[in-house]
């Protein structure tokens, strides 16, 4: 019988996270204070983050220990299996070997709990009572609600309105784990009110929801803020994915030629790819590639400049590939990929030519999702389906070239709460949005000059 999945025992859960800052040829430029435009210090961040996470944000230690209590929670679903996609390979008739890590097996259904759990735990240690955050697709909000629940913290989630309407059951999931959920923009924060004055029908965006959550945290002493992607410590926590995968590839007796991940803010791609980039920086041949939507093409069409992390301009300025902080992407079903920029670490690596990026339209991505569902059985999240599309195209190129490549992608989540998107696809109602060039140009013109 052929081997389909490689499963590690609990004892193989990584005991340390990998910090790529120890190995990067060029570190990202420092975050700047939104008012003074000077580099931010720990005190600027301490109103909304615990000091332990601020330390991780700036640490250049290669390995950071994972506390025992976090490992205990990780063991509820980690290590996640590495699958060989035999049936997909057969359907494509490719000589390539396709492997994928299934992060959809976590209780919330995605990779997001890998960082929600440590963020909740470090906040609990710091005496915080409540965490406010944003969510796009609902994956991050549900992961934070789950994690906070484990450690007895309250959760307030600002959920992007378009997702709130498309995914009512994600909201119920968050509420089941104890969170309070608002459709963003709301009328309860100044940031939300400001947006609604300009556009009462605003579909919302991750940038707007972040402004609301940051304002909530900054104006309440017992409340902190948590971000589900972009920041260095978030990417750090996600490296458990790639570290496990390396052990699993060792068992398989393989090493990937190409590592692929979808890219919203960059955390699952970074978590999957960074441990392989450690080898690449040391001289090994491996390609790490981001896949993003054509309608929100941050790496492939954005500009590498300082921009705010949120829409209103409350967060520090970060050096990122950005489409402009007030750019509101079309309401594609991959809500988690509708972010105007990407993680500074990932952007620096892209700028330095260490990672690659490509973009696809929504219909092509769903064609890939359906093929995956029919061959491998799992209904993928629309976000993860971008990585599937990238892997399929890579496998088809390998077929043309007659090469037996090893392709590895991260299945960042399942799509059980995304069935409205699948219903649209089946009914032939899925629309492809063009690359919104004019709106992006307009938005980029408003960026601060640094």
CB of 11 to ligand PLP, least distance (A): 27
Q: How far is CA 193 from the centre of its chain?
A: 27
Rounded CA gap, 330 and 339, in Å? 11
Q: Which is nearer to ligand PLP, 236 or 398 (CB)?
A: 236
Residues 405-424 that bind ligand PLP (CB under 6 A): 412-413
Count of chain residues binding ligand PLP (CB under 6 A): 20
Rg, C-alpha atoms of the chain:
20
Footprint on residues 215-274 left by ligand PLP (CB under 6 A): 229, 262-268
- Specify whether the CB–CB gap between 356 and 381 falls below 8 A: no
Q: Which residues contact 212 (CB under 8 A, 6 or more apart)?
A: 134, 158, 182, 184, 185, 186, 188, 189, 191, 192
* 158 touches ligand PLP (CB under 6 A): no
The 278-297 site mask, x for binding ligand PLP (CB under 6 A), equals: --------------------
**What span, in angstroms and rounded, lies between the C-alpha atoms of 50 and 104?**
29
Question: Between the CA of residue 363 and those of 301, 322, 370, what are the distances in Å?
Answer: 20, 24, 11
In this structure, what token pair is assigned to residue 84? 């060989």
Q: How far is the CB of 104 from ligand PLP (least distance, A)?
A: 8
Task: In angstroms, give the least distance from the CB of 106 to ligand PLP.
Answer: 10
Residue 383 in contact with ligand PLP, rule: CB under 6 A: yes
- Smallest distance, Å, CB 197 to ligand PLP? 28
Beta carbon nearer to ligand PLP, 110 or 359: 110
166 or 268: CB nearest ligand PLP: 268
Please state the closest distance from residue 160 (CB atom) to ligand PLP, in A: 10
CB of 54 to ligand PLP, least distance (A): 20
Q: Toward ligand PLP, which CB reaches closer, 317 or 337?
A: 337
The DSSP bridge pattern shows strands 130-135 and 97-102 to be unpaired
Query: Contacts with ligand PLP in 335-374 (CB under 6 A)?
Result: 336-337
232 contacts 345 by C-beta, under 8 angstroms? yes
Q: Please say which residue, 267 or 311, places its beta carbon nearer to ligand PLP.
A: 267
Q: In the β-sheet with 130-135, what is the strand arrangement from edge to edge? A: 179-184, 154-160, 130-135, 223-225
* Residue 143 or 278 having the CB closest to ligand PLP: 143
**Binding positions for ligand PLP, 131-150, rule CB under 6 A:** 136-137, 139-140
374 upstream amide cis, omega within 30 of 0: no
Say how far apart CA 316 and CA 44 lie, in whole Å. Answer: 9
Binding mask 177-216 for ligand PLP (x = CB under 6 A): ----------------------------------------
Nearer to ligand PLP, 248 or 410 (CB): 410
Helix 113-125 to helix 139-151 angle (10° resolution) is 40
- Asked if residues 116 and 226 have their Cβ atoms less than 8 Å apart, the reply is yes
Please tell me what DSSP assigns to residue 319.
E
Closer to ligand PLP by CB, 137 or 195: give it.
Answer: 137
Least Å from the CB of residue 388 to ligand PLP: 11
Q: Name which of residues 80 to 119 contact ligand PLP (CB under 6 A).
A: 110
Q: Which residue is nearest to ligand PLP (CB)?
A: 336
Q: Are 91 and 372 in contact (CB under 8 A)?
A: no
Of 184 and 268, nearer to ligand PLP (C-beta) is: 268
* 390 is a site residue for ligand PLP (CB under 6 A): no
CB of 68 to ligand PLP, least distance (A): 26
Instruction: Describe the chain by its helix, strand, coil percentages, rounded to 5.
Output: 45, 20, 40
* Helical (H) or strand (E) element with 366: helix 362-376
The smaller minimum CB distance to ligand PLP, of residues 94 and 297, is found at 297
Helices (H) and strands (E) in the chain, counts: 18, 15
Q: Do 202 and 196 contact (CB within 8 A), yes or no?
A: yes
Select from 244, 277, 272, 289 the least CA-distant residue to 24.
277
Q: By CB under 6 A, name the one of 384, 407, 436, 447 that touches ligand PLP.
A: 384
Q: Which is nearer to ligand PLP, 124 or 382 (CB)?
A: 382
Binding site for ligand PLP (CB under 6 A): 110, 136-137, 139-140, 229, 262-268, 336-337, 381, 383-384, 412-413
């Amino acid at each position: 019988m052929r081997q389909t999945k490689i499963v590690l025992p609990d004892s193989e859960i990584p005991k340390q996270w990998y910090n790529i800052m120890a190995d990067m040829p060029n570190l990202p430029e420092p975050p700047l204070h939104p008012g003074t435009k000077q580099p931010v210090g720990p005190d600027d961040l301490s109103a909304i983050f615990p000091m332990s996470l601020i330390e991780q944000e700036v640490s250049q230690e290669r390995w950071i220990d994972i506390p025992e209590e976090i490992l205990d929670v990780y063991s509820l679903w980690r290590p996640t299996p590495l699958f060989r996609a035999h049936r997909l390979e057969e359907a494509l008739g490719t000589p390539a070997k396709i492997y994928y890590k299934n992060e959809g097996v976590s209780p919330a259904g995605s990779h997001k709990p890998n960082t929600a759990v440590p963020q909740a735990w470090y906040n609990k240690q710091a005496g915080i009572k409540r965490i406010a955050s944003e969510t796009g697709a609902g994956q991050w909000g549900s992961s934070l609600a789950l994690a906070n629940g484990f450690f007895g913290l309250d959760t307030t989630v600002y959920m992007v309105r378009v997702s709130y309407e498309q995914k009512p059951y994600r909201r119920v999931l968050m509420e089941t784990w104890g969170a309070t959920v608002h459709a963003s923009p709301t009328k309860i924060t100044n940031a939300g009110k400001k947006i609604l004055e300009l556009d009462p029908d605003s579909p919302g965006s991750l940038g707007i929801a972040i402004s609301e959550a940051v304002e909530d945290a900054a104006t309440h002493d017992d409340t902190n803020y948590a971000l589900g992607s972009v920041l260095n410590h978030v990417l750090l926590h996600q490296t458990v994915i790639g570290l496990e995968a390396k052990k699993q590839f060792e068992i398989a007796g393989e090493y990937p030629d190409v590592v692929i991940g979808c890219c919203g803010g960059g955390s699952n791609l970074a978590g999957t790819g960074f441990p392989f980039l450690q080898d690449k920086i040391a001289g090994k041949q491996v390609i790490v590639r981001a896949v993003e939507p054509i309608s929100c093409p941050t790496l492939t069409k954005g500009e590498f400049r300082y921009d705010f992390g949120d829409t209103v301009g409350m967060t520090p300025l970060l050096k990122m590939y950005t489409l402009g902080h007030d750019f509101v992407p079309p309401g594609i079903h991959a809500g988690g990929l509708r972010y105007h920029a990407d993680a500074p670490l990932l952007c620096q690596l892209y700028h330095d030519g260490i990672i690659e990026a490509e973009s696809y339209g929504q219909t092509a991505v769903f064609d890939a999702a359906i093929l995956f569902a029919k061959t491998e059985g799992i209904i993928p999240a629309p976000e993860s389906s971008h990585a599937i599309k990238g892997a399929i195209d890579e496998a088809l190129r390998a077929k043309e070239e007659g090469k037996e490549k090893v392709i590895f992608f991260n299945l960042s989540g399942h799509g059980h709460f995304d069935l409205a998107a699948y219903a649209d696809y089946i009914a032939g109602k899925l629309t492809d949005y063009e690359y919104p060039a004019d709106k992006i140009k307009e938005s980029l013109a408003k960026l601060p000059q640094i």
